[in-house]
């Protein structure tokens, strides 16, 4: 759990630094920083998708089906609403304002948990005691925490709990999960995860309201598909 704990600390420290900086930003500077962050998130997501698709042959239909099925399932169980509810509850206890806690909590949780570094790093940590990937992710997440907190507020700090639960669970279950995460599955997870991160950036820019949290079940579809495929094969 060392890698995950370091990751959580990086997010908390980054959030604190971001909040200190936030007080020094004018409204105009906060707006341009938010736009820059949204563009950066889009680039991170899109580059991950294209890197996978250009370097490895990918199932061009599976990621579409994954997003559709994932979106339907996520909407039916209302993941977005439940995550917003958690953020609203935190906000009511902390006396935040105008949904800022919910928005920053949901956005940061999605960004930190949908990338393949979270999965691969947690598995390496759990099985081999190798924290290199998670330490690298910690630096990146810390930087994003600074930027997110400086523009979206203190709700970002609560995403550290999402990271702790998500990555911690994968780390503890790494020995069981690792044999089933084949190259095909990891490739498709990278593509779907990259698309979700891209969608998050679009939502942050206000270009179009996207219920990205409701699309999260899409990452499970490739696992189920290839699981069935290998059994039949």
Cα 77 to the center of its chain, rounded Å = 19
Instruction: Name residues whose C-beta falls within 8 Å of residue 13's C-beta, 6 or more positions apart in sequence.
Output: 142, 145
Chain mean pLDDT for the chain: 82
pLDDT at 44 over 60: yes
Over residues 4-11, mean pLDDT? 94
Express each pLDDT in 188-204 by its tens digit: 888 888 888 888 888 87
Residue 87 pLDDT? 74
pLDDT at 5 over 90: yes
Residue 124 pLDDT? 80
- Contacts of the segment 57-61: beta carbons below 8 A, 24+ positions apart: 58/187, 58/188, 58/191, 59/188
pLDDT at 135 over 70: yes
Express each pLDDT in 73-118 by its tens digit: 999 998 888 887 877 777 776 665 555 777 788 888 888 887 777 8
The overall pTM is greater than 0.85: no
Residue 94 pLDDT? 67
pLDDT at 215 over 80: yes
Residue 153 pLDDT? 80
| Burial group, residue 123, by CB count within 10 angstroms (0-12, 13-18, 19+) | buried
How far apart are alpha carbons 41 and 46 in whole angstroms?
Answer: 9
């Amino acid at each position: 759990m060392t890698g995950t704990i370091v990751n959580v600390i990086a997010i908390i420290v980054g959030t604190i630094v971001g909040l200190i900086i936030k007080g020094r930003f004018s409204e105009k500077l906060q707006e341009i920083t938010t736009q820059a962050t949204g563009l950066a998130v889009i680039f991170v997501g899109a580059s991950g998708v294209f890197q996978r698709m250009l370097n490895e042959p990918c199932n061009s239909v599976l990621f579409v089906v994954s997003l559709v099925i994932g979106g339907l399932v996520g909407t039916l169980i209302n993941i977005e609403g439940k995550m917003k509810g958690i953020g609203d509850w935190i906000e009511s206890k902390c006396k935040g304002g105008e949904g800022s806690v919910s928005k920053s909590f949901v956005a940061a949780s999605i960004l930190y948990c949908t990338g393949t570094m979270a999965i691969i790093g947690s598995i390496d940590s759990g099985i081999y005691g190798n924290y290199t990937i998670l330490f690298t992710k910690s630096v990146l997440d810390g930087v994003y925490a600074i930027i997110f907190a400086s523009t979206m507020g203190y709700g970002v700090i609560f995403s550290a709990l999402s990271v702790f639960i998500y990555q911690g669970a994968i780390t503890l279950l790494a020995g069981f999960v690792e044999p089933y995460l084949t190259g095909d599955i990891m490739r498709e997870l990278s593509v779907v995860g990259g698309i979700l991160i891209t969608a998050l950036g679009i939502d942050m820019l206000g270009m179009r309201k996207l219920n990205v949290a409701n699309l999260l079940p899409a990452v499970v579809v490739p696992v189920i598909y290839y699981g069935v495929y290998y059994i039949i094969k």
